[in-house]
Amino acid sequence: MTTSAESFDALAELALDLRYTWSHSTDSLWRTLEPELWNSTRNPWVVLQTASRKKLEDLQRDPKLQEQIAELLAKHRESQNAPKWFQRNHPNSPLSCVAYFSMEFGLSEALPIYSGGLGNVAGDQLKAADDLGVPLVGVGLLYQQGYFRQIIEADGSQRALFPYNDPGQLPISAVRDADGEWLRLSVVLPGVTLWIRIWQAQVGRLKLYLLDSNDPGNPPAYRGIASELYGGGPELRIAQEMILGLGGWRMLKALGLHPEVCHLNEGHAAFAVLERARDFAEDNGVPFEAALAITRSGNLFTTHTPVEAGFDRFPLQLMQRFMEFYARERLHIDFNQLLALGRANPEDNNEPFNMAYLAIRGSRAINAVSRLHSEVSRRIFARLFPRWPDREIPVSFVTNGVHTPTWDSAAADALWTKQCDGDRWRGEMESVAADISRAPDSALWEMRKQNRLELVLFVRERMAQVLGERGSDPRIAAEIFHPDALTLGFARRFATYKRPNLLLHDPDRLARILTNPDRPVQLVVAGKAHPEDLAGQAMIRAWMDFNQRPEVRRRVVFLSDYDLLLAERLVQGADLWINTPRRPWEACGTSGMKVLVNGGLNLSELDGWWAEAYSPELGWALGDGMEHNEDPKWDATEAEQLYSILEQQVIPCFYHRDAGGIPSDWVAMMRRSMAQLTPRFSANRAVREYTERYYLPAAEAYGHRAANRGEFGKVLLEWKTKLALQWPALHFGELRVASSPGAHSIEVDVNLGQTPAQDIDVQLYSNERDGAGPFVVEMHQTGDAAGDSGGWKVYAADIPLSRELSDYTPRIVAKNPDAAIPLEDAHILWFR
């Protein structure tokens, strides 16, 4: 017979694995133990710790429950060890570990260490990496309070609360060393050595390691450094980022982990590139500059920021206080060398240290999070690549995706399971689109009806609680919303660039849309404004004022404290998701992706992911695909467009029913959206793309540069140094053109000086024109320039007649087959 201790250990193993957030296989078990607590927290670890001894003893005596636990545990352990996509497709790869650094991770409402989109992406990518078997560990911070919790007062004002995250109540466990001692590390801050203790969260077979400053060995003033997410001033931020980057890499080494790849999810973690290089320099006896050239080949920087002001930037005085000692005593470099890594102009002491610049100068590759965002990011980072065309600024993109098993409803999951196989989100999803396309209209519509009903019941429950707290009759909540009405969802961070009040541009018109007796519409709104963002809070108050209008009280609700659990309910229940950012300031946006698996449709600005996903048969679009900055006239134009699309397209489509009572045109759009967009904008696709485009090549490149104690990395650094000295002597001479019926022949004289020919590329460059290009044509050395023996060489190329000769300009760029150009060497010389 199973002992009480064995039974508790088995339950603890299940409760501490965050896979429950998407597999849901253990939900019924926790609901059996403490139904009310489970429904309010979705935290099995709290449920297990709170359950009475009697309940646990009853569970131990119940053979059916014991059989269920044994079966769940067996499946859990089998999943931990079974080969997955990565093991099947890349069995002999050089990649054994990716260290994924992020300031926040949105894995579950039971672990509130996230704020919004950045954390959602990080959490979903960890989950998808587990599904796919990608060898990855997460590195983040354990916040004692996390991001603020929101209360909306009766007058519409927002109140911010910061409840304490008791580690004992979170689904995490202490990390212990080989002697059983709690793993503790140190980071030197001004005037103090800060002790950091380490926790871990289990995410299937993966681990997320969390660094905690609340160690009893720290002075009281320092224990709260990792207290609040995105709170405090620049001093707190730089201290947090030192803990994340410097402490995070030291922690990996202490755990015996040796990642080939370091993935920086935004610039907050950029100090990790310094510590990784320092670590390599110390272990291999090479100077820091060579170590950085070696280790950067294994680093990837993902930027999520659409405006330059969004990056963390620290003034000189703050950098001196916090990082000068580290530069001098740990990196063994002059402090100005460190500052140069974070500045566009190293000589300008008025220029702050930019964490994104450090990430770029310490990485092998940079990616944005949507196609449009890559264009925006290239403009932002152009300062680091002077004279390079925008199209060649080295920022690629991997469009974000969402972890579909986390966000699908029970009804949606049942439909997808019936149409597809159970492992549909754990492989390459080859047949998913075709399988879901065969779902009958009746099944798709029944799923939507069930999802909408669940949201209506949830809204009524939440509003009954709110009404009771405000002294009103909670029974009024039963009259809010209708299970058959078109349901719109809008939930965002309330910031001015997201324009959360565009729908309120004409309140009377919105009220008429919501209260049409023949075609009623209901709207759920949610979102937080940063405690210091008064403009964002004013927009929340405007929504609360609108909600008080008697005619709309039963048609629109504002649900407070937008978190993962609330987001899950909204994206499952909304028929239409609305998103109204000011283009191009939405780097990607993932909330609209979350409705796809649930059959929800999108009406969104042509920004972020929707700019590449939209087509008229899949949803509706706002805007003209152009940038209009903060023009109030354009806001008014788009508000008019938004109302018109709702009135003339969305609402008629939803309410036009066939003989069976099904809106066949709406369901047809649902089917196309689910089939075409759900797999395409899934975290499964995004993580496979990261793995094959970045992780695997980075692991191979790092192995090459690090071999023989970094011998090749030292050679590469010598090449860069020598080229920088030789470059000023390079210059162009005469240009000659000869045209024939078949092509233009171009020759140009180039003085190489002391530069070896193999270290440069001479090219003809043509800008983009009429939607074609840009083009780069290699020029080849044909011999010495006539009558000259002073280093002049002739380079020639033929170009087609299809473009104007004046389109092409000769140029010289650095060339090294083992270097990422222009990321690792941005030298460029243009003809005149």
- SS3 per-residue string spanning 725-777: HHHHHCEEEEEEEEECCCEEEEEEEEECCCCCHHHEEEEEEECCECCECCEEE
Task: Write down the pLDDT at residue 786.
Answer: 76
Task: Point out the least confidently predicted range of 47-56, 167-176, 763-772.
Answer: 763-772
Task: Write down the pLDDT at residue 3.
Answer: 57
Which three-class secondary structure state does DSSP give residue 184?
Answer: strand
Question: What letter does residue 228 receive in the DSSP assignment?
Answer: B
Q: What is the pLDDT of residues 788-801, one digit of tens each?
A: 667 899 999 998 88
- Of 185, 591, 184, the residue nearest 400 (C-alpha): 591
In angstroms, what CA-CA distances link 307 with 356, 380, 497, 571, 731?
12, 7, 11, 27, 36
User: CA-to-CA distance for 631 and 538, rounded, in angstroms?
Assistant: 20
Task: Point out the least confidently predicted range of 96-105, 289-298, 770-779.
Answer: 770-779
Mean pLDDT within 405-418: 96
- SS3 per-residue string spanning 82-142: CCCHHHHHCCCCCCCCEEEEECCECCCCCCCECCCHHHHHHHHHHHHHHHHCCCEEEEEEC
Bridge partners, 168 (sequence order): none
Mean pLDDT within 495-505: 93
Give the pLDDT band of residue 416 (cuts 50, 70, 90): very high
**Does 663 sit behind a cis peptide bond, omega within 30 degrees of 0 on the bond before it?**
no
Task: Write down the pLDDT at residue 4.
Answer: 62
Question: What letter does residue 182 receive in the DSSP assignment?
Answer: B
Residue 73 pLDDT more than 90?
A: no
* Sign, Cα dihedral of 599, 603, 607, 612: positive
Bridge partners, 749 (sequence order): 794
Contact 516, 550 (CB under 8 A): no
Q: Which amino acid is at 768?
A: E
Mean pLDDT within 721-728: 95
User: CA-to-CA distance for 741 and 485, rounded, in angstroms?
Assistant: 68
Task: Write down the pLDDT at residue 5.
Answer: 66
Task: Point out the least confidently predicted range of 312-321, 584-593, 733-742.
Answer: 733-742
- Of 303, 314, 211, 312, the residue nearest 263 (C-alpha): 303
Q: What is the pLDDT of residues 442-467, one digit of tens each?
A: 999 999 999 999 999 999 999 999 98
Beta strands in 250-368 (DSSP E): 261-265, 299-302, 313-314, 353-354, 365-368
Task: Please give the model's pTM, rounded to 2 decimal places.
Answer: 0.95
Task: Write down the pLDDT at residue 557.
Answer: 96
Mean pLDDT within 672-698: 98
Beta strands in 527-597 (DSSP E): 556-559, 576-579
Task: Write down the pLDDT at residue 233.
Answer: 92
Q: Give the ranges where 556-691 is alpha helix by DSSP (H).
A: 564-573, 591-594, 610-613, 632-645, 651-655, 664-677, 683-690
Task: Write down the pLDDT at residue 758.
Answer: 95
Residue 694 pLDDT more than 60?
A: yes
Q: Which amino acid is at 541?
A: R
**Does 810 sit behind a cis peptide bond, omega within 30 degrees of 0 on the bond before it?**
no
Interacting residues of 528 by C-beta distance below 8 A, sequence separation 6+: 148, 150, 158, 493, 494, 561, 562
Contact 451, 572 (CB under 8 A): yes
Residue 743 pLDDT more than 80?
A: yes
Mean pLDDT within 498-511: 96
Task: Write down the pLDDT at residue 740.
Answer: 83
Mean pLDDT within 269-282: 97
Q: What is the pLDDT of residues 391-401, one digit of tens each?
A: 999 999 999 99
Which three-class secondary structure state does DSSP give residue 151?
Answer: strand
User: CA-to-CA distance for 491 and 62, rounded, in angstroms?
Assistant: 44
Q: What is the pLDDT of residues 560-578, one digit of tens each?
A: 999 999 999 999 999 999 9
Give the pLDDT band of residue 308 (cuts 50, 70, 90): confident
Average predicted confidence (pLDDT) for the chain: 93
Distance of CA 763 to the CA centre of its chain: 37
Q: What is the pLDDT of residues 658-675, one digit of tens each?
A: 999 999 999 999 999 999
Summarize the chain as % helix, strand, coil (round to 5). Answer: 45, 20, 35
Residue 441 pLDDT more than 70?
A: yes
What value does the CA radius of gyration of the chain take, rounded to a whole number of Å?
A: 29
Q: What is the pLDDT of residues 701-717, one digit of tens each?
A: 999 999 999 998 889 99
Q: What is the pLDDT of residues 520-536, one digit of tens each?
A: 999 999 999 999 899 99
Task: Write down the pLDDT at residue 1.
Answer: 46
Which three-class secondary structure state does DSSP give residue 345?
Answer: coil
Q: What is the pLDDT of residues 585-631, one digit of tens each?
A: 999 999 999 999 999 999 999 999 999 999 999 999 999 999 998 89
Give the pLDDT band of residue 194 (cuts 50, 70, 90): very high
What domains appear along the chain, each with residue ranges and CATH number? 4-81 (no CATH), 96-145+172-400+691-706 (3.40.50.2000), 433-676 (3.40.50.2000), 730-830 (2.60.40.10)
- Of 232 and 387, the one with more pLDDT: 387
